[in-house]
Structure 1
């Protein structure tokens, strides 16, 4: 008969180890976000104030220019509100995608530590930039509607859905570009040149339904057209958003994210050695 004590169950130990890993990951992501905040905003006068002033200045310029050329915006009566519903989602996508695309290069010195992974760097940049742009959008929309009296019929679910679509598209394109820009440095410049027309053709200055049939057929494949259209559904009750496909945007977001994540996972060690 054996005198050895019964084996201790390993489940509690595994649960403790899992909790410790989760805590370490969340602490790492928080530290990366704080580092990003200090390097991006902390070294400039005004700090986070520039995150609000930049889009406000852009909206003011657009509104002033087009108010001279046109008697009324394509939707509603407020030029700033119309352009904000297009400009802010576009800026959110653009900033999230570009910041995530440079995550590995930006955090490369820290990725040498075992506690920091490329996924931590991606998540940190994603969370910080999405939260920043969501805060900016809330401030600007609230000011336009409740302070300046811009007429709008708020559909909060549509606004939140547009924000989620924008964030998903940003993380998908940004993750794929993170691999491409890290592996092929020339791709960063090529991407900037190739996407420069997006500011014009994504629906910031016009309404999708006002385009000729050929224009609607072509621009339907631009996912930002759907994102901006959904945002305008959230502010204009009469806006026809029957062309919007959430599934199309979700499919592109999921495809680019999975491709980028797989490529980064297979090549991140080589990037660290390079």
Structure 2
């Protein structure tokens, strides 16, 4: 009887230990990824602060230039168009029309432009084992996207205050279109930056290419103004889809838009995947001093 009782107690203890191990294992499966995610966020956050101080300094306006720079561009373009264009273009007021187009394409220009050469400019950081090339690109992308988004908000509030624009008709479409623009920009940035690491000519050709992309992006015209045959060709470019979606969110049923949100989502996903594959081999093409 005693042996049976001792045996039963030992089995019960073994079962409890097994349950405890299972619980720890399950908890670890959830906690370890969270710890790793927090670690990656801290690394990117530190790189953002470093980038802000390096680029804008600690004195004067400092990091406010992150928002002021897109503002200057937008108000400059808006002012020039106001002088040479009528107040309304195809029934749409000029100010909001420029705002929705130019502030959207500015995300693409800034994210792609600032990412090219990012790894070469921060090559010294590669000496730290915890820093990866993706951290550097993520820091610059997040910083530029936030700066452009805040600038967009400021321009919108200013136009709202002077009664040039109404509140957005559909906030979900506005936010989704702007985020899709950021998503497509990330895909382009990773792919082009990875190519720039391998081929120096990419950095020389990119500035000219960026200016050529703007007229084809739909920033300064609506897809509905284009004949159907040419419209379908232009919509092979993912950028017009995102800008049309932003305008649909702002103007609503007052304008006719043409876009498919799945197309830029898929396009950005493919570009990001290709860019990450190429970026994984980036260390082979750079010399860490």
After superposition, the Cα gap between the structure-2 partners of 1:61 and 1:127, relative to the gap in structure 1 and judged at 3 Å, is closer
Match of 1:181 in 2: 196
| Residues 50-61 of structure 1 mapped to structure 2, 5 A cutoff | 50-61=65-76
Query: Residues of 2 paired with 1:75 and 1:214: CA distance?
Result: 20
Partner residue of 1:36 out of 45, 51, 75: 51
Name stretches of at least 5 consecutive residues in structure 1 with no aligned partner: none
| Residues 240-259 of structure 1 mapped to structure 2, 5 A cutoff | 240-241=256-257, 243-259=258-274
Deviation, 1:181, is: 0.7
Match of 2:250 in 1: 235
Matched, 1:49 2:64: yes
Deviation, 1:254, is: 0.8
Greater helix proportion: 2
Matched, 1:169 2:173: no
Matched, 1:213 2:228: yes
Query: Residues of 1 paired with 2:78 and 2:148: CA distance?
Result: 20
After superposition, the Cα gap between the structure-2 partners of 1:259 and 1:82, relative to the gap in structure 1 and judged at 3 Å, is same
Match of 2:282 in 1: 268
Partner residue of 2:163 out of 149, 155, 169: 149
Q: Quick check: 2:197–2:286 contact (8 Å CA) kept in 1?
A: no
After superposition, the Cα gap between the structure-2 partners of 1:28 and 1:66, relative to the gap in structure 1 and judged at 3 Å, is closer
Partner residue of 1:133 out of 117, 140, 148: 148
Divergent runs of 4+, >6 A:
5-8, 12-16
Query: Residues of 2 paired with 1:218 and 1:17: CA distance?
Result: 47
Deviation, 1:95, is: 0.7
Name stretches of at least 5 consecutive residues in structure 2 with no aligned partner: 1-13
Q: Quick check: 1:111–1:272 contact (8 Å CA) kept in 2?
A: no
| Residues 7-46 of structure 1 mapped to structure 2, 5 A cutoff | 9=21, 11=25, 20-42=35-57, 45-46=60-61
Query: Residues of 2 paired with 1:248 and 1:218: CA distance?
Result: 14
Q: Which has the larger radius of gyration?
A: 2
Deviation, 1:106, is: 2.7
Deviation, 1:16, is: 6.6
After superposition, the Cα gap between the structure-2 partners of 1:148 and 1:120, relative to the gap in structure 1 and judged at 3 Å, is same
TM-score normalised per structure 1: 0.86
TM-score normalised per structure 2: 0.82
Query: What is the count of residue pairs matched by the alignment?
Result: 267
Query: Residues of 2 paired with 1:14 and 1:231: CA distance?
Result: 39
Q: CA RMSD in A?
A: 2.6
Match of 1:91 in 2: 106
